[in-house]
Amino acid sequence: MEYVSPEGLRLDGRRPMEMRQIRAEIGAVAKADGSAVFEMGNTKVIAAVYGPREVQHRSQQMSDQALVRCEYSMANFSTGDRMRKPKGDRRSTEISLVIRQTMEACILTHLMPRSQIDIFVQVLQADGGTRSACINAATLALADAGIPLRDLVTSCSAGYLNSTPLLDLNYVEDSAGGPDVTVGFLPKLDKVTLLQVQNLLNCVILGRFSALVVGKMDSKLPIDTFENVMQLAIEGCKAIANYIREILLENTKQLEYRRGL
């Protein structure tokens, strides 16, 4: 099937290096300490942050840093076919773990010992790139909650279909079977904090990364192409970071206005 037409247009009319339209909103859940809605094209995700607060299970308390917990759940109606079990399946558990590790790396946990920070992410509509949308939403929600962060974490996915690197895959392109690289990036520090590659890689990556990734035999990605794809995803992350920064500035101006400053 052709994912990139000869004129260079993808299935939804985008160019290969073009991201979907992003939209973010802060403060969707009034009761949470911090919350945000993040949309990437048709993928819509809500994140809510509760914390820092008292640890619920004493045994998990850490005396020198905060405990970060995360749960990822999808709504029944988020995918085309109605899902029976919205939580607790393996994919949700894996993504919860991934988001937790990514956010934990950028929260200054040593400033809040013996406390707990809960990040809850709920997918309202899934159309590819839910992982990335969740990380972006979680960053906004953490910022809204006023939790000290090392840097904003932004995330974007990229793939390689019909010999073209594509940015920000949607569901159809994602399920095409080509490689799918999700990158979590810290824009100010210029560091990659999350790198997940699916459906792929039959090569050993040496040099800058010391990860051995073994995958299916049917799709191979030579290492320089992989670097291109990853670089493309990083560019996408930078663009998202700019947008997130604008949203946060706008929000702060609103807060100033309401306080009469």
Residues forming the site for other proteins (CB under 8 A): 28-32, 35, 42, 46-48, 50, 53-54, 56, 58, 69, 71, 73, 75-77, 79-80, 82, 86-88, 118, 120-122, 124-125
Closer to other proteins by Cβ: residue 53 or 191: 53
Closer to other proteins by Cβ: residue 43 or 193: 43
- Distance CA(18)–CA(159), nearest Å, equals 12
In the complex, what is the shortest distance from the CB of residue 81 to other proteins, in angstroms, rounded to a whole number? 9
In the complex, what is the shortest distance from the CB of residue 183 to other proteins, in angstroms, rounded to a whole number? 26
In the complex, what is the shortest distance from the CB of residue 80 to other proteins, in angstroms, rounded to a whole number? 5
Closer to other proteins by Cβ: residue 39 or 229: 39
Closer to other proteins by Cβ: residue 6 or 88: 88
The order of strands in the sheet holding 180-186 is 164-167, 154-161, 180-186, 191-198
CB 184 within 8 A of CB 195: yes
Helical H runs in 146-222?
171-174
In the complex, what is the shortest distance from the CB of residue 30 to other proteins, in angstroms, rounded to a whole number? 4
CB 41 within 8 A of CB 168: yes
Positive or negative: CA dihedral 228, 208, 129, 252 = negative
In the complex, what is the shortest distance from the CB of residue 133 to other proteins, in angstroms, rounded to a whole number? 14
Pairing between β-strand 67-74 and β-strand 115-125 as defined by DSSP bridges: parallel
In the complex, what is the shortest distance from the CB of residue 158 to other proteins, in angstroms, rounded to a whole number? 25
Closer to other proteins by Cβ: residue 68 or 221: 68
Tokens representing 234? Answer: 């990083």
CB 171 within 8 A of CB 123: no
- Distance CA(115)–CA(172), nearest Å, equals 41
β partners of residue 25: 37
Q: Interhelix angle for 223-259 vs 130-145, to 10°?
A: 30
Closer to other proteins by Cβ: residue 80 or 207: 80
Q: 129 vs 64, 149, 170, 226, CA distance in Å?
A: 35, 24, 6, 18
In the complex, what is the shortest distance from the CB of residue 58 to other proteins, in angstroms, rounded to a whole number? 7
Closer to other proteins by Cβ: residue 39 or 173: 39
